[in-house]
Amino acid sequence: MSVIRNILNSRSSKGGNFFNILTAILGFKPKTLAHYKKAFTHRSLNQKDAEGNAINFERMEFLGDAMLSAVVASHLFKAVPGGNEGYLTKMRSKVVSRKHLNELGKDLNLIEHVQTNIPKDQFGVNIHGNLFEALIGAIYLDRGYKYCKRFIYDRVIDPYVDIEQLEGKVISYKSLVIEWCQKEKKEFDYEVYEDTGNDELKHFAVKLRINDRVVAKARATSKKKAEEKASKRAYYALQTKID
């Protein structure tokens, strides 16, 4: 049994390693460790409760996502009284973007505390953000809205939410390019073409055409990533026009 498994299965509610680890991460003492153990349980363990319900972090993740979104939305609503619905929605998306949540989960090294039957190096990058959201869900169930809000402010809003910086932050170059093309009534197309690379891992090659002219090309390990990469190159090539 791994060291992490021993930590998570510690019987001590106050003296165990898991309790101490959580206290350091949260900034306050947890009360019900069961909520947090569930937030660090992967579905690969196939655990069920007495009623046959699955025990894993996915439901916690759903709850944490909702709480994070609500607290960030409330902060932005108060911080930017002149912001309309579209502006506030876009700003919230920048704060709770998957990339940012993954970074937060990595910073807290949450993956080290997961119970799983899958080697941790086989997880995709989104596991970090999923665990961060699950942790927020566990906090809400354990200590309520007040402590949940406090954690989100300490870990997300106070260190990272700067209105001026957020206004200039691009979360999707593809969306930016498409919006500009639609506004300027320009035709655009993302075309996957034959890739002759010799990489062992399959790559997708994408051409971005605007008004029948290729403005950018890119390769990546997925079509979505290649399109975003090509869009970023197109944005910088056309920046003066788009801005």
- Both 118 and 149 in one domain: the answer is yes
Q: Residue 134 has what pLDDT? A: 98
What is the average per-residue pLDDT within 209-228?
A: 89
Q: Residue 200 has what pLDDT? A: 62
The rounded radius of gyration (Å) of the Cα atoms in the chain is: 22
Alpha-carbon gap, residue 73 to 91, rounded angstroms? 9
pLDDT surpasses 80 at 4: no
The string of pLDDT tens digits covering residues 10-68 is 443 344 699 999 999 999 999 999 999 999 999 999 999 999 999 999 999 999 999 99
Q: Residue 6 has what pLDDT? A: 42
- Both 133 and 195 in one domain: the answer is no
Check the annotation: does 133 bind a ligand. Answer: yes
- CATH number for the domain including 206? 3.30.160.20
Long-range own/partner contacts, residues 183-187 (CB < 8 A, 24 or more apart): 186/210, 186/211, 187/211, 187/212
- Both 147 and 189 in one domain: the answer is no
Q: Residue 243 has what pLDDT? A: 64
Check the annotation: does 194 bind a ligand. Answer: no
198 or 70, greater pLDDT: 70
- CATH number for the domain including 162? 1.10.1520.10
Check the annotation: does 84 bind a ligand. Answer: no
- Both 213 and 186 in one domain: the answer is yes
- Both 65 and 110 in one domain: the answer is yes
Alpha-carbon gap, residue 122 to 125, rounded angstroms? 9
- Both 110 and 188 in one domain: the answer is no
Q: Residue 197 has what pLDDT? A: 57
Question: Which residues participate in catalysis according to the annotation?
Answer: 65, 133
Query: Of 167, 187, 210, which residue sits at a domain end?
Result: 167
Q: Which residues of 72-103 are buried (b: 16+ CB within 10 A; e: fewer)?
A: bbebbeeeeeebeeeebeebbbbbbeeebbbb
The string of pLDDT tens digits covering residues 125-142 is 999 999 999 999 999 999
Query: Quick one: pLDDT band at residue 193, thresholds 50, 70, 90?
Result: confident
- Both 230 and 116 in one domain: the answer is no
- Both 54 and 153 in one domain: the answer is yes
The string of pLDDT tens digits covering residues 75-103 is 999 999 998 898 898 889 889 988 899 99
Return the minimum-mean-pLDDT range out of 6-10, 147-151, 159-163: 6-10
Is the full-model pTM beyond 0.85?
no
- Both 84 and 114 in one domain: the answer is yes
The total number of structural domains that make up the chain:
2
240 or 10, greater pLDDT: 240
Query: Of 142, 167, 192, which residue sits at a domain end?
Result: 167
Alpha-carbon gap, residue 117 to 179, rounded angstroms? 44
- Both 127 and 213 in one domain: the answer is no
- Both 199 and 108 in one domain: the answer is no
Containing domain of residue 124, as a range? Answer: 3-167
